[in-house]
Every structure is written in C-alpha cells, then in structure tokens.
Amino acid sequence: MLDKPNKHNGKLIVFSAPSGSGKTTLVRHLLKQDELNLEFSISAASREPRGKEVDGKDYYFLSFQEFKNKIKADEFLEWEEVYRDNFYGTLKAEVERIWAKGKHVIFDIDVSGGLRIKDKFPEKTLAIFVKPPDLNELIRRLKNRGEETEEKISMRVAKAPAELATARSFDVIIVNDNLDKALKEAETIVGDFLKQ
C-alpha cells in the first residue's frame, strides 16, 4: 500500500532537529489542533522508556533482537542507530494504520530519518527543521528538561553540530526562540501545506 497512491491523500509532516530544540513541544501542540487532522507516528525504539513514557503511545519499545528481526523482515520505512546501541525506526504498518484512518501523519524523528522519508515521498512530505537559538540554549533546555544524566545529555549535544549542518536540506526551518511565535509559525506552515 505504501507504494501506491492512497485514497485518502494522506500527507507526511516531518519534524527533525537536534535533541532539545523543542520539536516534541511543537508536534504536541499541532496534534491538539483538530482541524489539522494529524496523528503521531509512533516509532519503534530499542531504548528503555524514559520518565512517564508509555509503550504503544510514545514509542513501541522493542528489545534489540526484536528490532533486528523487523529490519530483516523489511518492516521499516526507515530506521537509524541514532545513538550508539539505540535504534529507532518508522514501521511501514504505522503509516498505513494512520492513512487508513483518513489522517495525515506527523513524525518526530532524527534528521537522517526525516530526509529519508522526504526522499521516498517527495510530494507528500513537508520536512521541517527546528533550530535552537544556539548551542548553549540547547544545553540549557536539555538540563532543564531534567530527564537524563549529564552523560546522556553530552551524547545528544555532541551530535548537534552535524545535525544543524543538514538544516538546508529541509523544506522549512523554524527557529524556536520565542515559543509562542514558533508554535504559531508551525501551525501556519503545516496548515498551508495540508490545504494544497
């Protein structure tokens, strides 16, 4: 089904950014706008649940072995080892599930995965890059979020420069400095794309 045009004309909205930029905040806000008719693509992940995360809601939490079996069975639209030994991926069945409900899919995925989806569905996809004002602010937000050790935070920050370098490959860049402004901008950009 993913290779054929779908009868609902479902679209794909990708949000990618360095961790801590605020993409989850933006995506959650858009999901509350009923008129946008969006549903979150729940990714598969091989890491442990964090904080209040729930299996089947935030992620489908899989063991490393389960994840590998699904790669072998060609069940992923895209997957990445985003951090060492932490695999994340979009299951084809997840996109099919959401399109079958007549909804558009919204993704919160890493930059490589986001660009891969754009590559696979160039017309249907709006790929949005969320940029933090600067690296210091990114670190401040990750620390404030208070969900991870210093070591995990450093691992995320270390990836940020390479991720920021991919921003130009996206359709749109939203700078998340003032949150209210970024939320409004996201609403307008996504709303306009879905009307096309």
Q: Give contact residues for ligand ADP (rule: CB under 6 A).
A: 17, 19-25, 141, 144-145, 176, 179, 182
25, interface contact from ligand 5GP, ligand ADP, none, CB < 5-8 Å by kind: ligand ADP
89, interface contact from ligand 5GP, ligand ADP, none, CB < 5-8 Å by kind: ligand 5GP
Q: CA 23 to CA 33: how far, in whole Å? A: 16
Contact between 78 and 117 under an 8 Å Cβ cutoff? The reply is yes
Site string (124-143) toward ligand 5GP, x via CB under 6 A: --------------------
163, interface contact from ligand 5GP, ligand ADP, none, CB < 5-8 Å by kind: none
Residue 108 touches ligand 5GP, criterion: CB under 6 A = yes
DSSP result, 74-126: T-EEEEEEEETTEEEEEEHHHHHHHHHTT-EEEEE--HHHHHHHHHHSTTTEE
Give the footprint of ligand 5GP on residues 77-96 (CB under 6 A): 78, 80, 82, 88-90
- The stretch among 103-111, 118-126, 132-140, 168-176 that binds ligand 5GP (CB under 6 A) is 103-111
If phi > 0 it is left, if psi is from -120 to 50 it is alpha, else beta; for residue 15 that is beta
- 186 to each of 20, 59, 124, how far by Cα in Å? 17, 23, 17
**Toward ligand ADP, which CB reaches closer, 18 or 89?**
18
Q: CA 92 to CA 37: how far, in whole Å? A: 20
